[in-house]
Amino acid sequence: MRVLVLQTPKLTYVQAIELLLRETTDQLRVDIVVFPENAVEHPPQVTDQGELTKDNVALMLISRFARQRRMYIVLGSLEEKGPDGRIYDTCVVFDRSGEIVMRYRKQTPDHGKAAGTVPGIFSTELGPVGVLLGSEPEDEARWDPIIAVSPWLVLNPVNAPLRMDQSLAKAHPELQVAAWHQGFQRMQSIVESKTRSHPCCFLRADAPLRMGGAGSSMLVEPHRSVLAPGWGPASMMTEPSPAAEFTMRRPPGWRELDVDEIIKAASHDMDLLKYEKVEMGPRYLVWTMRTPSSSNEILTKKSRLE
């Protein structure tokens, strides 16, 4: 499947549809579009309660677009007011027919909002897809019910600022770049650890730096990471690898570690001690991004991390 990741600031629903029109065409098939967390504003006054149904004009129009283009659309998260009056951060997913197939309420909420209780999982032609919002990939308890259904893809819409003192970032821009790269490495390590029992693809859609997020959109697979080379507004087109091809796509150098090597590696990842067999090796780093203003130009730089 071809997945379009939109690294965008918060948009009105009209701006979101205009962006989809520019970034998807009949000639370039897109199967799944993923927005960051809190990416799309919507008019709650349409339903009086802020309920996330197709009675809401924003969701009705996005549903129509999904049906016309025959694609899944993952709205990172919207603010939902439930019948009980509590406020949730909720991820809404449309299928190829424009139907809402999932409303996932964030289970690790921010800013005093209510917590959901049901894992975020929806079905596609290739199998289950899991959804983790914001910082939820860092919580092992959030992974367990998703890994249990053997997903082929886990999506992570996020909108979290770069972890760095802003005054220090302004005084020393090079430190900001270093912190940005460290953010990629940190998330890559988390994903490798959480998906060791069931290798699958992990896709993050982040908001741009200084526009709510850290500009850290990425695809992490067992053999490669596709990273955003820029932290501003942009879009990324990528095709997650089928699980059956993970092993054959590994770069040369992968091998099974002996006991001493596992113990040494466990100093960085204690979970390795749970496994009798551990394989490690180099990974491909793929940098591929295009900006909305230059949709027809794709810059790709491929390197190998030894």
Residues 6 or more apart from 275 whose CB is under 8 A from it? Answer: 196, 262
Report d(CA 27, CA 53) in Å as an integer. Answer: 31
Q: Which residues pair with residue 34 across a beta bridge? A: 5, 74
What phi and psi values does residue 270 have, to the nearest 5 degrees? -65, -25
SS3 state of residue 235: strand
Residues 6 or more apart from 69 whose CB is under 8 A from it? Answer: 20, 24, 30
Q: Looking at this protein, which amino acid is placed at residue 177?
A: V
Closest by Cα among 188, 201, 264 to 3: 201
Per-residue pLDDT at 47: 59
What phi and psi values does residue 152 have, to the nearest 5 degrees? -95, -15
Residue bearing the bigger pLDDT, 211 or 155: 155
Instruction: Give me the torsion for CA of 304, 169, 190, 92, rounded to 10°.
Output: -110
What percentage of the chain carries pLDDT values higher than 70?
88
Model confidence, pTM: 0.88
Contact between residue 281 and residue 255 where contact means Cβ atoms under 8 Å apart? yes
Per-residue pLDDT at 301: 34
Pairing of strands 201-206, 218-220: antiparallel
Contact between residue 199 and residue 243 where contact means Cβ atoms under 8 Å apart? yes
Report d(CA 254, CA 272) in Å as an integer. Answer: 16
Closest by Cα among 106, 111, 113 to 86: 113
Per residue in 83-132, pLDDT (tens digit) is: 888 889 999 999 999 999 999 999 998 878 899 999 999 999 999 999 99
pLDDT grade, residue 31 (50/70/90)? very high
Q: Looking at this protein, which amino acid is placed at residue 98?
A: G
Per residue in 204-239, pLDDT (tens digit) is: 999 998 888 889 999 999 999 998 878 889 888 899
Report d(CA 92, CA 84) in Å as an integer. Answer: 19
Which domains can be identified in the chain, with CATH numbers? 3-305 (3.60.110.10)
Report d(CA 127, CA 293) in Å as an integer. Answer: 34
